[in-house]
Amino acid sequence: MSLRAILLITLQQEPGTGYDILQRFKAGLAHVWQASHQQLYRELDRMRGDGLLTCETVPQAERPDRKVYHLTAAGGEALDTWLAEPLAAGPVREPLFAKFFAWERWPADARRRELGDLHEQLTQRLATYAAIEEEWFAAPERLTPAQRAPWHTLRLGQRLTQTWREWIEEVLEEGE
């Protein structure tokens, strides 16, 4: 259901094609959601079949037709229903943690390399977050609540990433 909800939210803000939505994901929702184009096209078609969306085909010269999807009234209701009911807690699945349970078999050099690489990725992610924050949320106190809401998600992303990074540093220090 989550992908559906994401698509309902995206299309409620503005109608668009599968391709458009992918671009929006890359631009602003990347730290919130990722999906492949195959998933999008399949899901959009199903949602149309379920009456949540309508599809308007816009022919183009020398290019495939654009299929612009719009939210229907039923789609809006489905979104409101989803927003109203609390989300079920997802299952815990942390593959990296599994390696810690096979510590003796996990070669020390592979471990240092893997944790080091991860540390670097997290550092990079923090830089990306900082750039997004500077560009969009430079003055959070002057934003409306609705504008500040996405900023909150960014802030949590930052803090979780920092927490991870500190932890990696500690683990690496210990196995000096």
Residue ranges that bind a second copy, judged by CB under 8 A: 2, 5-6, 9, 12, 29-35, 79-80, 83-87, 89-107, 110, 113-114, 117-118, 121, 145-146, 148-150, 152-153, 155-156, 159-160, 163-164, 166-167, 170-171, 174-175
Q: Which residues contact 99 (CB under 8 A, 6 or more apart)?
A: 106, 111, 114
Is 82 an interacting residue with respect to DNA (CB under 7 A)?
Answer: no
- Taking CB under 7 A as the criterion, the residue among 27, 49, 59, 64 binding DNA is 64
Q: Please give the helix or strand (H or E) that residue 40 lies within, else none.
A: helix 37-49
Nearer to a second copy, 61 or 89 (CB): 89
Is 59 an interacting residue with respect to DNA (CB under 7 A)?
Answer: no
CB 92 within 8 A of CB 25: no
Among DNA, a second copy, none, what does residue 26 contact (CB within 5–8 Å per kind)? none
Report the alpha-carbon distance of residue 69 to residue 65 in Å, rounded. 13
Report the alpha-carbon distance of residue 20 to residue 119 in Å, rounded. 33
Is 50 an interacting residue with respect to DNA (CB under 7 A)?
Answer: no
Q: Which residues contact 143 (CB under 8 A, 6 or more apart)?
A: 137, 151
Catalog residues that contact DNA under the rule CB under 7 A: 1-4, 17-20, 23, 35-39, 41-42, 44-45, 60, 62-67, 91, 93
